[in-house]
Amino acid sequence: MTTTRLQHDYSTTTTRLQHDYNTTTTRLQHDYSMTTARLQHDYNTTTTRLQHDYNMTTTRLQHDYNTTTT
């Protein structure tokens, strides 16, 4: 049984999206700089943990999902 945890943190303030993915092996880091929108992807592979941190504009939603797979 593997426990998969997905944490979504959506912070809306300016157009910045940061994705932090923890998975298994191989690490890819993408840093995209645009005019008003900055996307930063940090993929860290180690076990089944996905963490998404989204910074956007106004309204903040935080989702914390704990799931289990067999």
- pTM for the whole structure: 0.15
Output the pLDDT for position 2: 54
SS (H, E, C) the chain: CEEEEEEEEEEECCEEEEEEEEECCCCEEEEEECCCEEEEEEEEECCCEEEEEEEECCCEEEEEEEEEEC
**Model pLDDT for residues 29-69, shown as the tens digit of each residue:** 443 333 333 344 444 444 444 444 444 443 344 444 555 44
Domain map (residue ranges) of the chain: 2-69
Mean pLDDT of 10-34: 43
Output the pLDDT for position 34: 36
Output the pLDDT for position 5: 55
